[in-house]
Amino acid sequence: MELVGSGDDLRDRTKQFALRLVRLYRALPSREEARIIGRQLLRSGTSVGANYRAACRARSRAEFVAKLGIVLEEADETVFWLELLQESEIVTAQKLTPSFKKPVSSRRSS
């Protein structure tokens, strides 16, 4: 039961987002704190795409909504780790902005 009409765009975007995170992780300095935060970022960021795919395979609307909740939690955690990398000056804002501008700009405002 496919509950998402044209989920291919978001499926592709979340995969590309995960790939950008992998490249960012590889480019992090070899300092311990960078690697620890980087691993957390990698786990949460790649989970966004994986969990979105799972949501697209939901068997009911309730399951879809529940799985999307997980996607949102993982996305929020990913933003936290990106902010931490920037605010701890491990990575500059200029280095993050080009790679992560589209996903961040697509978030709805609160």
Stretch (H or E) spanning 73? helix 61-87
Quick one: pLDDT at residue 47? Answer: 97
Which amino acid is present at 60? S
Map out the domains of the chain as residue ranges. 8-101
Quick one: pLDDT at residue 35? Answer: 96
Name the CATH superfamily housing domain 8-101: 23S rRNA-intervening sequence (1.20.1440.60)
Q: Kindly report, residue by residue over 80-102, the tens digit of the pLDDT.
A: 999 999 999 999 888 887 767 65
109: pLDDT strictly greater than 60: no
Quick one: pLDDT at residue 101? Answer: 60
The string of DSSP codes covering 2-67 is ---TTTHHHHHHHHHHHHHHHHHHHHS-SSHHHHHHHHHHHHHHHHHHHHHHHHHT-SSHHHHHHH
